[in-house]
Amino acid sequence: MSSHKPAKKSHRDATSVADMLTSQRPSAGGTPAEASPSDMDLMGPAPTMGASSEPSSSAILHFLAEVKGYLESEIMCTAAEVKTEITAIGARITEVEHRVARMVSAQNSNATLTNTLQHRITDLEIELEDVSNRSRCNNLRMRGLPESVEEADVESTLVQCFRKSLPDILEHVWLVDRAHRAPRARGLKNS
């Protein structure tokens, strides 16, 4: 990319372009000689192209060069302004991306912490229910259950013992919420 500095706009460039354009306008009377003083004010200074009413090719080339220079300087100024604005927008977008990344990281940390706390709450609820169930007044403690009975078979073994001991109670009454082995009571001897 070239490092051309945009040309400064000069009043002379704009005036000479305007002079070239206004000198070609016909006046209300038809020729510049027949124009009224107010028409002459609108037309600007008289053309310096010679006796002929047609501009010379060198005057046209000079005019086109001035227009080209003016347009190039305008384009360079506009391009520099656009580049500056794009750079500023790029910096703002980068800052927004960094902020979003920090927010996502914080959100992920919060989600992980929330999941950990939910699991801990679930574990504590299970422990609380177990402690509550073991301390109830309506729990039955059965002694003498053989050690050969597996933990999974404790409930069915107890229901069979109750049916033998209390044959008059109907089948649907035997509802056992849970059954498990308890630690041996203090002071009892091993049998």
Q: How far apart are CA 87 and CA 29, in angstroms?
A: 56
Taking 90 as the threshold, does the pLDDT of residue 105 lie above it? yes
DSSP result, 115-137 = HHHHHHHHHHHHHHHHHHHHT-T
Q: How far apart are CA 109 and CA 115, in angstroms?
A: 10
Asked if 7 and 73 count as a contact pair (C-beta separation under 8 A), the reply is yes
Which pLDDT value is given to residue 165? Answer: 81
Tens of pLDDT, residues 72-84: 999 999 999 999 9
Closest CA to 24 of 50, 55, 52, 64: 55
**pLDDT band for position 26 (cuts 50, 70, 90):** very low
Asked if 85 and 13 count as a contact pair (C-beta separation under 8 A), the reply is no
Six-digit token pair at 108?
């992920």
Which pLDDT value is given to residue 29? Answer: 44
Which pLDDT value is given to residue 1? Answer: 43
Q: How far apart are CA 70 and CA 76, in angstroms?
A: 10
**pLDDT band for position 190 (cuts 50, 70, 90):** low
pTM of the model: 0.38
Maximum CA pair distance of the chain? 142
Asked if 184 and 144 count as a contact pair (C-beta separation under 8 A), the reply is no
Alpha carbon separation from 63 to 58, 70, 76, 180, 181 (Å, rounded): 8, 11, 20, 106, 109
User: For residue 43, which amino acid is it?
Assistant: M
Which pLDDT value is given to residue 151? Answer: 79
Q: How far apart are CA 130 and CA 21, in angstroms?
A: 100
CA 36 to chain centre: 68
